[in-house]
Structure 1
Amino acid sequence: MYFSDKVLIVEGKTDKRRIEEVLIEPVQIICTHGTMGVSKLDEILDQLNGSDIYILSDADKEGRKIRKWFKKHLSESTHIYIDPKFGEVGRCPRDYLANLLMRHEFYVDTGLIMKGKFGNDERRDKLPGYYQSYPV
């Protein structure tokens, strides 16, 4: 059961697993399994229930194709883009994904946040999406 009003749509199971490694909030993650079509879109739309929709697809031909579907049929969705040098969401470093998702107000494990631009503790405390990580 999900208590978040956010839905993150990704291409595959590897992408989903990688994202789950950095998120610390309950977010429904839906996999397209690399294909889009009318029936797949209808199936996804049935699961949305008025949630905020985020699209995070790979930086390849299939990823662009999936984005095109959502831009056409679900224009209110927010598109999150990865750096093309990583190619696939599942291959993105955890710290990179944490920073990327945090910029879109997802709550992430701050132990993964990259140093530098977001390394200032004062600034970190003021930005949404930050939670202090604690060892388990």
Structure 2
Amino acid sequence: MTVTIIVEGKNDRSKLRRLLNDDIRILCTFGTPNSSKLESLYTEAKQDEVYLFLDNDSSGRKIRALLSDLFPDADHLYTRRGYAGVEGTPDEYAVQQLEKAGLDEFIVYPESMLRPQPEAEHERRRSRE
């Protein structure tokens, strides 16, 4: 089954595109969607596993309500109020939300978040001896 995340804008999509592999489809509402846009989103994602990752502001909450009616089984991802929307959410927090949603297999971890693999750590220790 295709996994689709719906966000508000292209900057939100760009942010998530850096953190997710190409197996995830990311659709944009481009602001508060009109009935035509809602119909288009529904047509594109009606068979998919849908996630909503929207800004934590009045506009984002309004869009979330509209999309929740359209996709009642959608999973919800949230950003904190202090962040400047999805695009302004730190990578670490966005990844944490994606992990909580069970999307681990699709995450492309940023360099800053990569931990040394156990075998690499073992090799590093051996080279010091």
Q: TM-score range by the shorter chain?
A: 0.7 to 0.9
Task: Compute the TM-score of the two structures, normalised by the length of structure 2.
Answer: 0.78
Question: CA contact under 8 A between 2:75 and 2:101: conserved in structure 1?
Answer: no
Are 2:33 and 1:44 equivalent residues in the alignment?
no
CA RMSD of aligned residues (A): 2.2
Question: CA contact under 8 A between 2:52 and 2:76: conserved in structure 1?
Answer: yes
Q: Give 3-state SS (helix, strand or coil) of 2:33's partner.
A: coil
Aligned equivalents of 1:17, 1:63: Cα separation in 2: 17
Runs (4 or more) in structure 1 with deviation over 3 Å come to: 110-115
Aligned equivalents of 2:62, 2:28: Cα separation in 1: 15
The structure carrying a bigger helix percent of its residues is 2
Structure 2: gaps (5+ residues): 118-129
Give the count of matched residue pairs: 115
Are 2:74 and 1:77 equivalent residues in the alignment?
yes
Pair member with larger Rg = 2
Q: Which amino acid aligns with 1:35?
A: T
Are 2:47 and 1:61 equivalent residues in the alignment?
no
Question: CA contact under 8 A between 2:42 and 2:70: conserved in structure 1?
Answer: no
Q: Which amino acid aligns with 1:109?
A: V
Aligned equivalents of 1:78, 1:70: Cα separation in 2: 11
Task: Compute the TM-score of the two structures, normalised by the length of structure 1.
Answer: 0.74
Structure 1: gaps (5+ residues): 122-136
Aligned equivalents of 2:75, 2:99: Cα separation in 1: 14
Task: Give identity over the alignment, percent.
Answer: 26
Are 2:95 and 1:109 equivalent residues in the alignment?
no
Aligned equivalents of 1:45, 1:100: Cα separation in 2: 24
